[in-house]
Structure 1
Amino acid sequence: MGYTTINLEILERKAILTLNRPQAMNAMDITMMQELADCMEELHQQPEVQVLIVKGEGRAFSAGGDIKMMLGANEAIDFETIMSYITRFAIGYYTLPMLTIAQIHGAAAGLAFSLALASDVIVAEDSTKLAMNFISIGLVPDGGGHFFMKERLGVAKAKQLIWEGKVMEAKEAFDQQLIDYVVPDGAAAATVDQIVGKVLASPIASMLATKEILHKEKLPELERILQAEAIAQAKMRQTKDHQEGITAFVEKRQPNFIGE
């Protein structure tokens, strides 16, 4: 299948998925969201692939959802369609019968951070900036962000970090147990290659069976959370705080939230 905003390369037992809108720091517009959903379904039809690496082209992993798209979503884009694509790729990625590795450099924010947190293994470079920063534009996490944060941190800590929405350095994210490896700048690819080599030399069928057992148990909860996120996101998009948040972002100023 041909894609315009992502690249998928299959190399025998390994596949590499590259987010490919470098001119926009790989921000996820509606086309990328649809292509990610389609790509996950394509990967489910590739039984020979046992490891998937997800990375970003250019200066960053991904800046998250495309803010310019959000500005025009009320008129030109069906919000329910956007959320359906997000739900499809979140469930598709979580249920992949392969070991997934996020290879992060530059930044992973918002929806892109949700995608990274859904991975089995997360490798980030020292200077990476990581943020579950939906609150900065008056929204809630989507892409299963609530679920994946809770899985790694527990409910109390997940709430606190979501509410704070701050930008974290890789070392802080590692100390919080949000990511698995911090490596020097420029070393993420080599580190991921080492992990892949070790995994493919292991009894990976057993590893993937364990993943299936644990994920199948949690899948209904993820589905419920994705549905709840879509409902909450639709409500938040109608608030004055959301409009102020995205306007302030575009104007490069601090937002003035009023709690409405």
Structure 2
Amino acid sequence: MSYETITLKKEGRLAKLKLNRPAAMNSMNEMMMKELADCLEDLKTDQEVQVLIIQGEGRAFSAGGDIKAMVDPDSPMDIEAVMVHVSRIAKALYTLPQVTIAAVHGAAAGLGFSMALGCDHIIAEENSKLAMNFIGIGLVPDGAGHFFLKERIGVPLAKQLIWSGKVLNGHDALAKGLIDEVTAEGKASDYANAFAERVLQSPVSAMLASKKILHSLKEHELEKVLEMESEAQANMRKSADHLEGIQAFVEKRKPQFAGM
């Protein structure tokens, strides 16, 4: 299958999925979200691929949702359709029968960070900018951001990161348990390939069986979180704070939130 906003390359038991909107820092418009969901769902039925590397083309992993598309008067983003795609991405990613590796360079923000957190093994370059920064535009995390953060670092620290929207570099993210490896600049892809090779030289079928057992126990919780995120996001999209947040982003100024 061919895609417009992503690429998928299979090399035997290894597949490489690349977000491919480099001019927009791989921010996710509705088409990319749909293509990612379609691609990941197709991989669920692939019986040959055992390891998947996810990375971004150009200077970033992904800057998150495409804010410019949110405010485009000629083609407004359909939030209901978008949230369906976002939920499909998270559910498919979590239930993939492959070992998933995120190779992060540059920004991994918002939905882009949620997707990275959904991977089994996360590698980030030292100067990466990782942030669950939905709060900056008056939104809640989606793409199972709440679920993946809680799984990685627990509820108290998850709330801190969500509420602050703090941007972390690779070393900070490693210290907080958000990622598994930090590398020098320009080395995330090399480290991801090396890790993938080690997995492929291991009894990977046993690894995947353990992943299935552990993840199956959490699928119902994941589905509930996705349902709640979708409802909350639809409500937040109508809020005055969200409208102020995206307008301030477009105008490159500090937002003035009113708590409404």
TM tier, smaller: over 0.9
Deviations 1:163-221 (A, max 9, x none): 01011111111100000100000111221121111111100000000000010100110
CA contact (8 A) 2:139 2:233 kept: yes
Give CA-to-partner distance per residue, 1:27-65, whole Å, 9 cap, x none: 000000000010011111211000000000000001000
Who is 1:31 aligned against?
A: 31
Residue identity over aligned pairs, in percent, reads 57
Shift of 1:94: 0.6
Confirm or deny: 8 A CA contact 1:125 1:188 kept in the other structure: yes
Q: Show the counterpart of 2:69.
A: 69
- Give the SS at the match of 1:130: strand
The residue number in structure 2 matching 1:176 is 176
Q: Which amino acid aligns with 1:51?
A: V
Residues 145-165 of structure 1: per-residue CA shift (max 9 Å, x gap): 000000001111101110010
Deviation at 1:96, TM superposition (A): 0.3
Matches within 5 A, 1:57-96: 57-72=57-72, 76-96=76-96
* CA offset digits 1:220-258 (Å, max 9, x no partner): 100000000000001111111100000000111100001
Q: How has the CA–CA distance of structure 1 residues 175 and 26 changed in structure 2, closer, same or farther, with 3 Å as cutoff?
A: same
Does the residue aligned with 1:72 lie in a helix, a strand or coil? coil
Other-structure match for 2:241: 241
Structure 2 Cα separation of the partners of residues 25 and 243 of structure 1 = 22
Q: Distance in 1 between matches of 2:54 and 2:122?
A: 10
Tell me the secondary structure at the aligned position of residue 76 of structure 1: coil
How far off its partner does 1:71 sit? 1.4
Map residues 25-174 of structure 1 onto 2, 5 A cutoff.
25-72=25-72, 76-174=76-174
Deviation at 1:74, TM superposition (A): 10
Q: 1-side partners of 2:101 and 2:254: how far apart?
A: 35
Whole-angstrom distance in 2 between the partners of 1:6 and 1:73: 25
Normalised by the length of structure 2, the TM-score is: 0.98
Letter in 2 for 1:193: N
2:62 counterpart letter in structure 1: S
> Which residue identity does 1:37 align to in structure 2?
A
Structure 2 unaligned segments of length 5 or more: list them: none
Superposition CA RMSD, Å: 1.1
The answer for the alignment partner of 1:253 in structure 2 is 253
1-structure distance, mates of 2:213, 2:27:
33
1:202 aligned partner: 202
Structure 1 unmatched ranges of 5 or more: none
Distance 1:68 1:156 in 2: 32
The whole-number CA distance in structure 2 between the counterparts of 1:93 and 1:43 is 9
Contact 1:29 1:66 in 2 (8 A): yes
Flag the 1:73–1:38 CA change in 2: closer, same or farther, 3 A.
Answer: farther
Cα deviation code 1:92-144 (max 9, x no counterpart) = 11100000000000110000000000000000001100000000000000000
Q: 1:123 to 1:73 in 2, by over 3 A?
A: farther
Letter in 1 for 2:132: M
Structure 1 segments of 4 or more deviating over 3 A?
Answer: 72-77
